[in-house]
Amino acid sequence: MQTESSLIKNTYAFIAAILIVVVLYVGKPFLVPLTWALLISLASYNFLNRVECRT
């Protein structure tokens, strides 16, 4: 009984991992520019906040 539960749990984990990889692969044209925009906005936040406070 214990091995069946373990097998089902591992199967669900494997299916979830496959679904995550598929979603990332299909969403790559959307997710890559979004990630770059987020990175640039976070990197420039402090600088732009200082510039805005000086004016």
Over pLDDT 90: what percentage of the chain? Answer: 80
Question: What distance in Å separates the CA atoms of residue 39 and residue 20, rounded to the nearest whole number?
Answer: 22
Provide the mean pLDDT of the chain. 92
DSSP state of 29: H
Contact 33, 40 (CB under 8 A): no
Q: What is the pLDDT of residues 1-46, one digit of tens each?
A: 567 788 899 999 999 999 999 999 999 999 999 999 999 999 999 9
φ, ψ of residue 8 to 5 degrees: the values are -65, -40
